[in-house]
Amino acid sequence: MNMFDYWLIDRLAVDYSWNNLPGYRDQGINAGHNLRFVYSTRGESAPNTGFFGGPLMGIVGNTLDENGYPTLSVTYGGESLAYLFDMSNEASGQPGKATYPGVSGLFRVDDEGYYYYDSRHEFASLDAATHHVNVYDTWAVKASPLPMSNHDGQFFPLDRPTTVFDLVDGALVQKDVADPRSLLLFCPSSPQGRRAFPLCGYRMLYFIKI
């Protein structure tokens, strides 16, 4: 299994904004490509934006390219998406990308021989040096800062356990961290109610290729 991390400006930059930053179409992993990572879809014409309420069909072609990678559909220019899934990275000339080949440790095997991982019950954190995923025996990251959130346990393998856990009397206790926009937010209580603030310096743009 291979894991990938993508970014626009800097790998450890604050990765949070309500609006797209100037020049985002030509920054980092977006540079030179039609499929774009964005903060906001307002005014954006990339094929992966501007649709809500369900899956958007037809972005990717029905067949792989000659090297086994997906491509955008002909409607969106047919560009190969190999740059997202091959072993390239910033050092080899692909901006805005880190690659972790041969990742191990994420999946377990059940009694019937099936591989599984469930973020509702276990938090996973990638060790970037060893490419091994450490799996903890409790969930982390709330699905929403709202108290009624019922989808707690999100998949943020590129964040460290110290970001989402406190160690209390030898047990892991979830910090008040939520994921309302697929970005880690720290949500302290206040007299005015719960408010969301970005956690700085952590990444979560990733794909996994098995």
- Name the burial class of residue 16, with classes exposed (0-12), middle (13-18) and buried (19+) by CB atoms within 10 angstroms of its CB: middle
| pLDDT on residue 117 | 93
Q: How many domains is the chain partitioned into structurally? A: 2
Rg of the chain (C-alpha set): 18
84 and 108 belong to one structural domain: no
75 and 147 belong to one structural domain: no
Residue ending a domain, choose from 54, 77, 101: 101
Per run of 10 residues, the mean pLDDT along the chain (length 210 residues) is 90 68 85 83 61 70 94 91 95 94 94 92 94 94 67 84 87 75 40 35 44
| Domain containing residue 144 | 103-210
28 and 108 belong to one structural domain: no
Residue ending a domain, choose from 101, 136, 169: 101
Q: How far apart are CA 21 and CA 129, in angstroms?
A: 31
Q: Which of 109, 135, 103, 132 has its CA nearest to residue 120? A: 135
Q: Which of 108, 101, 97, 193 has its CA nearest to residue 147? A: 193
